[in-house]
A and B are shown apart, each in its own frame.
Chain A
């Protein structure tokens, strides 16, 4: 049943379009967020973590 639904002519282009949209969405999100992710961590934040680490040791 599932197979026949998948091979229905009207279903095929939609699935193909869904895949294309997913791919485009993923690329778009990466372009939007990757530069933020790759930015260096602020020194201030790292210092905060390091100070707490030393306090715990």
Chain B
């Protein structure tokens, strides 16, 4: 038996939340975005062809809604609000610090790279699925994930070459301050390496 349209909407809500949070970086804005997405999807349900990729269709609606909201008011992300709400996890002090640094680094990534990375790594989406959602070529989706991952590695662990496309001076100044702050992340990565 195939799930009804509405059952599919309910089933995909957790994944929409992840995408919304990756894009907005603000929990309450993300909740609103998911709700607006559901409203849009319900209004447009006649245009969905059963048997086609429902997940991609929903994620695309959310993405388009995010872009449209962003155009309307140019200040969606309230990054200061994010670490407390997003990082309310238990654990060692060092782990929490590393997570905070990861969070800050994620905030600095372009929206499309952050979205691709989170959906790819966390939700295990293929490059094809990411491309379907973003309406871009598979190569572009692949490049977004690669660049995001690489950039995080540079910021958190430190590397010589910067892939963000920023100028050398900008990168160097950012990197030197980041390097000072990210010993924790480096240590945590070492721990992961040892336990891998």
Additional 11 contacts, C-beta under 8 A, given A31-B99, A32-B89, A48-B39 = A20-B193, A23-B193, A24-B188, A32-B102, A36-B18, A36-B86, A44-B35, A45-B34, A46-B10, A50-B6, A56-B5
Question: In the complex, how many angstroms separate the beta carbon of A44 from the nearest chain B beta carbon?
Answer: 8
A28 to chain B: closest residue by CB? B102
Chain A contacts to B: CB under 8 angstroms: 16-33, 35-39, 41-42, 44-46, 48-50, 52-53, 56
Query: Is A32 touching B6 in the complex (CB atoms < 8 A)?
Result: no
Q: How far is the CA of A27 from the CA of B189 in the complex (A)?
A: 10
Grouping DSSP codes into helix (H, G, I), strand (E, B) and loop, the B interface class, with mixed when no group exceeds half, is helix
Grouping DSSP codes into helix (H, G, I), strand (E, B) and loop, the A interface class, with mixed when no group exceeds half, is helix
Contacts of B31 in A (CB 8 A): 42
Contacts of A18 in B (CB 8 A): 153
Question: In the complex, how many angstroms separate the beta carbon of B98 from the nearest chain A beta carbon?
Answer: 7
Query: Is A31 touching B38 in the complex (CB atoms < 8 A)?
Result: no
Query: Is A20 touching B21 in the complex (CB atoms < 8 A)?
Result: no
Q: How far is the CA of A18 from the CA of B154 in the complex (A)?
A: 11
Contacts of B14 in A (CB 8 A): 37-38
Could you write out 7 A-B pairs with CB less than 8 Å apart?
A21-B157, A23-B192, A26-B121, A33-B22, A36-B17, A38-B14, A39-B17
Chain B contacts to A: CB under 8 angstroms: 4-6, 9-10, 13-15, 17-18, 21-22, 27, 30-31, 34-35, 38-39, 42, 45, 86-89, 91, 95, 98-99, 102-103, 118, 121-122, 149, 152-153, 157, 185, 188-190, 192-193, 196
Q: How far is the CA of A33 from the CA of B88 in the complex (A)?
A: 10
Query: Is A23 touching B196 in the complex (CB atoms < 8 A)?
Result: yes
Known: A31-B99, A36-B27. A53 touches B4 (CB 8 A): yes
Query: Is B21 touching A36 in the complex (CB atoms < 8 A)?
Result: yes
B95 to chain A: closest residue by CB? A31
Query: Is A25 touching B121 in the complex (CB atoms < 8 A)?
Result: yes
Query: Is B192 touching A24 in the complex (CB atoms < 8 A)?
Result: yes
Question: In the complex, how many angstroms separate the beta carbon of B161 from the nearest chain A beta carbon?
Answer: 13
Which of A27, A44, A52 has the most chain B CB atoms closer than 10 A to its own CB? A52
Q: How far is the CA of A31 from the CA of B86 in the complex (A)?
A: 9
Question: In the complex, how many angstroms separate the beta carbon of A36 from the nearest chain B beta carbon?
Answer: 6
